Each structure stands twice: as structure tokens, then as C-alpha cells.
Amino acid sequence: MGLSQASPLASLGRLLSSQVVGVLDNPPESRRLSRRLSLSASGRELAPAISLRRTFREFWPDTRGLRRLFVAGVVFAILAALCEVAAIRLFGHITDEVLTTKNLGAFWTPAFAWLGLAALAGVTSFAGAYATALGAERFLLALRDRVYAHLQTLAPDYSEKRRLGDLMARLTDDVEAIEELVGSGLVKAVTTVASAVFFATAAFFVRWELALVTLALIPLFLVVSKVFAAGFRTAAARERASNGAMNSVLEEGLANQPLVQAYNGQGAESRRLHREGRGWLRANMAQAWLSGLYGPAVQLIETVCLIVVLGFGAWEIAAGRLTLGGLLSFAAYLALLYPAVQGLGELAMTVSEAAAGSDRVIEVLRANPVATDDAGAVAAGRSAGRVAFERVGFAYPGRGRPVLRDLSLTAGPGEVVAITGASGVGKSTLAKLLLRFYDPDEGRVLLDGADLRGLTRESLRDNITILHQETLLFSGSVRDNIAYGRPGASLDEVIRAAEAAGVHDFVKLLPQGYDTPVGQRGRLLSGGQRQRIGIARAILRDAPVLVLDEPMNGLDEATAAQVMKPLRRLMAGRTTLLITHDLRHVPEGARVVELEPVPREERIRLKRVGLPARGTRSTTSPNG
């Protein structure tokens, strides 16, 4: 949406001014605008609308340190606009004093002055755009870091309960929307208003009666902007929705490709994509229809304005109240004024849309970390590894029924406590409490006799290694994934851990050895290989407490046996909580504890089914 390219008025404006239109109406802005429009339209139901003032209150402090850049952006853009005003004035002068009078001698001075002004406008326009972009990008960087850092403090369930794509949109598009509101948006608003005032004032100076007549036509632009804005918004919302649907079909289809092919579902998947693609096509065509109409509508109004200016101007020239140069420079001011006014109309629209986008970011920032460090929390240091659950009761937030009730359990260095029980009984929940993703509602969890609530989370987690059911790998190399256990570990240390975990032999055979990429989520490796890389990572981490959450899940007997060997090595000398529903994988000498579901009367019973070998302490049985 900008100055209509085909209109004579626009051509005149383009001819005389390349700088200001460029500053006020650059293409990335419009790209962002359409993304933002569509995003906020789809996200509206996810977060309540909040006021613009609240958005500024929340994010204005983030502009600290950048405000100078934004002020520079405004100052330079205003200078560029003033240069344009002066250049147009020179154009009028040349028309009257050189072209009309055919006096070539009077040409050179204004011509060089015009050139100088054009150069100055170019430099100031560049400086303004650069300073604003630098401020905007730094703002984005800092805000994205802030939101991401906050997300990292939330329990993993926060992300798990939400669509990943939606959270990513908050960190990218929504963060951009906020920047456009409190950073470059503000710069744009100030410079657009200032430029509109300059061009209007200059037009008044040329001939105020003519200016009054043409300014009276300005509301026509605003009405057209308003009418089209509603249509654009609906079309953008539809486009966003079908884009989301198309992405989910693609994501699901590609992620589950083995399943799709094994079940001969390729045709059905392609048809699904085609169906969603057709919806997307329709939505885009609605947008194209509106954009196609918008241009001619604006052009028509501009032509009306031009005819009015020419007609009125001819009358004024005939009456000797206006020169030809005056009329042309008047038209040129108009050619810059109208897009500025249009820009203001669009700005009002985008500001409210951007505020809606910022709701979604504020919603993330308002989410409280489930377990935060207490004011007096102390660092745990290297723990001996004595873990105790003391009469622990816990229900997930928002869930009435407790998962655990009155549970007591102890485990010491060198001990393996196998926790078994039916699916959903709360075995993994124990691990989450130990890592302080959550705090218990009743009772305490202790490490070396100290309540976890009195320890900093970071120092607590340094003492615990967890191996999940499915080893989580990043898409880096084998080496990166093992070294994740101890950032900065040397290749020798990585290899030693790999040898202990029984991965060295197969890594040696990989095409690039330890530098071989493991693929997305380690998909290029087998389940057993992934699990052993996880063990190598745990060995390198060398924490005194080990939580193994179904480490053999999904592995066949032979592979499980291969994994068990390094696992025993890993468990030696540490405190191990082995969560498993399969007693075949419980090593000899382990203490076995079976969790029973919290019955209707909300109690959980711990039943001891195995006795500790080597005289380890028995499980506390809390169920009185």
C-alpha cells in the first residue's frame, strides 16, 4: 500500500523525490505488516487484548540504551524531508526562471543547489534508515533474548502443553510486532507526521487557497484506507489460518514419514496437503483481489486531486496569482503529502494489530516459573548423593487429584532403587520433583538432608543426571552431543566417556567419526546407539545422582543387554533411581519399590516387593 505507481501525480512525486517516499514506505515494512496482521488475527483468541499503554509500559524500558538511535533516526528522516521540500522549491524556481523565460544562464546555480540537496537528502535518509534499523534490530535481539530466557525458567510442561509453532511465532513475529510498535513504529509515526506537516505547510506557502481545496480531499484517502483495512484484516486472518493448517499437515506428514509409507498413506497425505493448499490459494487470491482493487481506487482519487489542482491552478495562473513553476511544485508537494497521509492511516491500523501481537508475548512473560529459587537459597556444592522423599504429596497445577500422596523414599550413594508401577502412577513425576520442575504440595524432598527448596536450582541440577526414555539429542555431531554433558570437554574426555559407554567402536566406523552429524533428533542413529550416546554424556557429566527413566524402553533384548553394560558402569558409586515398568531390567541387588495409584480416598501406598541386597536401607513405607 503506497503511492500508486501509474498515476501522473505519483510519477511527478517519484521524479522529484526518491528519498522521502523510500523512508516512509519501504518494502520490508509492508512484508512485516502483512505477517503481523495475519498473526495477530489468528492469535487474538489466545490472549486477552490489552491497551496500548500497557504495551508501552511493559516494553518501553527495553528501548533503554537505544533511544539515541531512534532519535537519530527521527532527526535524519526529518532532515531528508526538509531537503525534499527545498528541492521541490528549486524545481519551481527553475521552471519559472529558466524554462518559462528560456534563460539558460539562470539554470546552473539552482541546478547545482538541487544536486547538493539531493545528495544531502540521500545521506540523511540513509543515516536515518540505518540508525532506525540498528535500534530496531538491537531491540529485537534483546527482547527475544529476554523472552527466551524467561521461557527457559518455566517448567518443560509449559512448552509441552502448547503448540511449538505458536511459541516460536511469539519469539519471532510477535517480538517483531512489538518492536514496530515501540521502536521503529514510533520513529515512523513521528517522521510521517512531521513530513506531512512540512509538505502541507510548503503547499500552503505556494498557494494557500489551492492547498485548502486539495487538503479537503484528504479524507477520501482515509476513507478508502479504512474500508480496505477491514477486508485486508479478514483476508490476512484466513491466510494465516490456512497457512497454519498447511504447515501442520506438512510437519506431521514429514515427521511420520515411515508410518505414512508403511501404511500406504502417501496419497491421502498428498490429498490433505492439496486440500489445505487450495484453502491457502483462496485466501491469497482474496488478498490479491483487494490489493488489485486498492491500487486503482487510490489512483482514481489521486487523478481527481490532480484534475482539481490543474483546473484550479490554470484558473489561478490565468488570474496571475500563480506561476507555472508554483503549480508544478504544488503538485509535487501533494505527491509526497498524500502517501504520508495514507501512511498515517495504515499506521493507526498496524498499531492496534501490533498491540494484539504483544499480548501474546506478555502472556509468556507473565507465566511464572513453577519452582523459583528462594531468597535465601544456597548452592548445593558437590553432593554425596543422599536423596530422600519425605511424606511427599503432589498434584499437577490445575489437576484436582493428586498423583502422589504421603510418599517416602530414600536412596544413598551406591544404591540402585528401582521404581516400578503401572503406567501413569507417577514414576516420572518423582524425577520432576527431584529436579525441581515442581515443588511438592506436602512433605519435602531432600538432598544430603537439605530441603531442595533451600538450594539453588542450578546447583541442584548440577548434581543430577537424567536419562530419558528416549535419549534427547541435538542435531549437531556425535561429539557435540556427548560434550553436552560437560561443556568445554576435550575430545580426549569425550572419547574416554564414549569408550566407557560402549559407543567408541561404532563411532569409529561412522563416516566422519566423532564429527558425524546425528541428524534431526539423532534420527540417523539407532535407538540403542542414541541411548549409549546419552550414557556417554551422563558419564562425562559425572553427577552423584542418576535418574534413569525407562532407559531400555523400545530396545530389543540384545540391544538392551548392550546398553546395560555401560549403564552398570555409570551407576557404580552413584545414587540411582531407576524408573522402569519392566523388572527384567532391574540389576541384581537393587531395591525395588512399586508405586500404587492414589486411590479414590487420595492415598498412595508404597509396597516393598524386593529386598535390598548388601544390607541397604529398606524403603520407607508411608501408607500407614
Ligand X SMILES: Nc1ncnc2c1ncn2[C@@H]1O[C@H](COP(=O)(O)OP(=O)(O)OP(=O)(O)O)[C@@H](O)[C@H]1O
**Cell numbers describing residue 272:** 490433505
Cα-Cα end-to-end distance for the chain: 74
CB of 592 to ligand X, least distance (A): 15
**Quick one: 53 or 399, whose CB is closer to ligand X?**
399
445 touching ligand X, by CB under 6 A: no
Helix axes 108-153, 184-206, angle to 10 degrees: 160
**Quick one: 93 or 427, whose CB is closer to ligand X?**
427
User: Using CA atoms, how far apart are residues 327 and 329, in angstroms rounded to an integer?
Assistant: 6
Nearest-5° angle of CA 180, CA 181, CA 183?
65
468 touching ligand X, by CB under 6 A: no
Q: Which amino acid is at 141?
A: L
425 touching ligand X, by CB under 6 A: yes
CB of 527 to ligand X, least distance (A): 17
- CB crowding 444-477: b at 16 or more within 10 Å, else e: bbbbbeeebbbbbbebbbbbbbbbbbbbebeeeb
429 touching ligand X, by CB under 6 A: yes
569 touching ligand X, by CB under 6 A: no
428 touching ligand X, by CB under 6 A: yes
**Quick one: 253 or 426, whose CB is closer to ligand X?**
426
The pattern of x and - marking residues 144 through 163 that bind ligand X according to CB under 6 A reads -------------x------
Distance of CA 269 to the CA centre of its chain: 28
600 touching ligand X, by CB under 6 A: no
Among 69, 196, 387, 403, binds ligand X (CB under 6 A): 403
Choose one: 66-74, 280-288, 426-434, 517-525; the region binding ligand X (CB under 6 A): 426-434
**Quick one: 370 or 567, whose CB is closer to ligand X?**
370
**Cell numbers describing residue 449:** 538432608
Q: What is the DSSP string of 321-373?
A: SS-HHHHHHHHHHHHHHHHHHHHHHHHHHHHHHHHHHHHHHHHHHHSPPSS--
CB of 485 to ligand X, least distance (A): 24
Choose one: 35-43, 164-172, 275-283, 417-425; the region binding ligand X (CB under 6 A): 417-425
493 touching ligand X, by CB under 6 A: no
**Cell numbers describing residue 490:** 576435550
Choose one: 135-143, 342-350, 420-428, 511-519; the region binding ligand X (CB under 6 A): 420-428
CB of 425 to ligand X, least distance (A): 4
**Quick one: 88 or 387, whose CB is closer to ligand X?**
387
User: Using CA atoms, how far apart are residues 261 and 499, in angstroms rounded to an integer?
Assistant: 37
CB of 431 to ligand X, least distance (A): 8
**Quick one: 403 or 533, whose CB is closer to ligand X?**
403
* Residue pair 196/334 in contact by the 8 Å Cβ criterion: no
Contacts of 349 (CB under 8 A, 6+ apart): 225, 229, 233
CB of 396 to ligand X, least distance (A): 3
Among 399, 584, 600, 614, binds ligand X (CB under 6 A): 399
* Residue pair 1/342 in contact by the 8 Å Cβ criterion: yes
427 touching ligand X, by CB under 6 A: yes
Choose one: 56-64, 102-110, 419-427, 608-616; the region binding ligand X (CB under 6 A): 419-427
426 touching ligand X, by CB under 6 A: yes
Contacts of 268 (CB under 8 A, 6+ apart): none
Nearest-5° angle of CA 517, CA 520, CA 524?
60
CB of 533 to ligand X, least distance (A): 22
Residues that bind ligand X (CB under 6 A): 157, 396, 399, 403, 421, 423-429, 581
